[in-house]
Amino acid sequence: MLCRHNQLKPLQRRSGFFFGSSLIATMLTFAAVHLAVEHGALSDALLRFIELLPAIPVAAMILIVGRYLKRETDEFVRMLVTQSLLWGLGFTMVGDIVFGVVFAGFHTYGLSQIYNIDVFCITALLALFTQLRRNQ
C-alpha cells in the first residue's frame, strides 16, 4: 500500500527514508552500547555517556515526524499519521507496564529499552495500514 512509490508524495518518500535511516541508526547504536557495556572496561562516566547515544537517533525520529506533520498539507493524511503515532505510543506504554510486571524479578530493563522503539514503529505502522485499508 505505502510501498508503491508512484503513490507517495516526495515529502512522504523523503520523510520515510529519513525515518527508516534513523531507525537503523537507533538499532546500531543500541547494539554498540550493548557491546561497549558488556565487553568494554570503561569508566562509569564514559559508560553513562555511551548509554545516552541511542537517544540521538530517537530524537531525530521525533523531529522527522514533527517536520513531516508540519509540512503535510492533506489534513486527512495528517490525522491518520497522528492517530497511528498515538496507537503506537499507547501500545508501547501498555506493553512496558505488562513487561515490567511480568519480568519484575529479572534484569530485563535494558532489553525492554531496545524493543520499545521496535514495538512503537511496528504498532504505528500496523495502525496506519489498518486505517488506510479501512478508509479505502
Question: What is the residue whose three cell numbers read 557491546?
Answer: 35
The C-alpha atoms of residue 128 and residue 114 are separated, in whole angstroms, by: 22
pLDDT band at 44 (very low <50, low <70, confident <90, very high): confident
Helices 75-102/109-134 angle, 10° precision: 150
Burial of 5 (0-12, 13-18, 19+ CB in 10 A): exposed
Mean pLDDT for 102-120 is 71
Amino acid 6: pLDDT: 64
pLDDT band at 1 (very low <50, low <70, confident <90, very high): very low
Mean pLDDT for 107-130 is 80
Mean pLDDT for 40-69 is 88
Sign of CA dihedral 87, 93, 94, 95: positive
Q: Average model confidence (pLDDT) for the chain?
A: 84
